[in-house]
A and B are shown apart, each in its own frame.
Chain A
């Protein structure tokens, strides 16, 4: 496998993260100034799962760098519908593109495609697995707002299926960060993530109540609890209510707490929080473009 594929956040060292974030800061300062950096570069977008925003953020990033994107349209209209394997689809599209971005509902899809293609591949989410480009934009946001060392972070919500959580937790082990995980019992971190965190020497602290830990947090990263995880609507309502935040919840928080969310949210964060200094989720979403510009810039540099 090529070593410039980005499949999992576990591949990223502290130096890797810092160099992408530093570069992203340059793009962020003046995104319109780099329109001739990668003229003619074509990015192939393989989205087997609808994700308009992630896809648009990659499209914007490549266009800001002077390149363009091609995609396969909706899965319904493509050859996938006719039963073509993912491995074959990827091998065809790589012939059109200088780099590929993959979003797929199956865990391990990106690792497999990485074994078949010769152009750099970015994993933009594989099932409940990994989402490393989201992690980089999360880290960028955390660095801007709270710094990455001497950090106490709480990660709350669906920790079992939340791939953004898994990737972020792995990446944070590179930094001096205390990680606290807050979730209902049924949505705790999966065994494999706990195993890796343990192996990396990170202290994993798990909680079922936010109140226990909220006053000590610098960052609270909230994720969505999906209705479809619960067979019973009442059970969902109860849990969703317990793991949502509003102004009352935040009364015991530090004044400079940073509240993040990978979006879209449903009702995990009450709209009344949006106008406070805590709210950082829209800024976080905005950071997707400069961070993806930085990543693409790095990958495409090897092309010339």
Chain B
């Protein structure tokens, strides 16, 4: 199989996340909780030439559609990404990401002194800013390495 074929080969059903900012594919896998042990068939393209972006990453996950929480977090680290839901080898739905106003229960707060990191009955809640997110409880602003704080199981 040529390199070209690998990149464009179609999957019967699942999700293709395209136009991921180059270098973010592994973080996308982290958001989806894919570590190679969950049994899904996953193809990853990194630094694939792209007319629109110069270079981009692509992630294809077979037999899986994404939850809204996953889509919300994806939008934070890969705002230009498009999500193609594949059924019967065809693109059944194409979704562009929209940044949510807030994300609840998906990121953990990097501030160790934040009440959300204690054993309290409270979910994390982050406001989405233009260039980062902000904890609703301790107000810490996170701009870099958002993917490090993903609490999605």
A window 203-221: CB within 8 A of B? none
Indicate if the CB atoms of B141 and A107 lie closer than 8 Å.
Answer: no
Interface size class of A (residues with CB under 8 A): 20 to 34
Cα of A106 to Cα of B120 in the assembled complex, Å: 11
Most buried by B among A85, A106, A126, A127: A106
Indicate if the CB atoms of A112 and B122 lie closer than 8 Å.
Answer: yes
* B78 interface residue (CB < 8 Å to A): no
Q: Size of chain B's interface in residues, with CB distance under 8 A?
A: 19
Contact status of A108 and B141, CB under 8 A, knowing A85-B121, A87-B122 = no
Indicate if the CB atoms of A107 and B114 lie closer than 8 Å.
Answer: yes
Indicate if the CB atoms of A112 and B120 lie closer than 8 Å.
Answer: yes
Indicate if the CB atoms of A106 and B113 lie closer than 8 Å.
Answer: yes
Most buried by B among A86, A104, A107, A108: A108
Closest partner residue, chain B, to A129 (CB atom): B138
Indicate if the CB atoms of B121 and A192 lie closer than 8 Å.
Answer: no
* B9 interface residue (CB < 8 Å to A): no
Closest partner residue, chain B, to A108 (CB atom): B137
Query: Whole-angstrom distance from the CB of A240 to the nearest CB of chain B?
Result: 23
B window 52-89: CB within 8 A of A? none
Cα of A104 to Cα of B139 in the assembled complex, Å: 16
Cα of A129 to Cα of B122 in the assembled complex, Å: 18
Residues in A with CB closer than 8 Å to B141 are: 191-192, 195
* A109 interface residue (CB < 8 Å to B): yes
Contact status of A107 and B121, CB under 8 A, knowing A191-B141, A192-B134, A195-B141 = no
* A37 interface residue (CB < 8 Å to B): no
Indicate if the CB atoms of A129 and B118 lie closer than 8 Å.
Answer: no
Query: Whole-angstrom distance from the CB of A44 to the nearest CB of chain B?
Result: 19
25 of the cross-chain contacts (CB-CB < 8 Å) are: A85-B120, A85-B121, A86-B118, A87-B122, A106-B114, A106-B115, A106-B118, A107-B115, A107-B138, A108-B114, A108-B136, A108-B137, A108-B138, A108-B139, A112-B115, A112-B122, A115-B122, A126-B115, A190-B140, A191-B141, A192-B134, A192-B141, A195-B129, A195-B134, A195-B141
Residues of B within 8 A of A (CB): 111, 113-116, 118-122, 129, 134-141
Pairs A-B, 6 closest by C-beta atoms: A108-B137, A107-B138, A108-B115, A192-B139, A108-B138, A106-B115
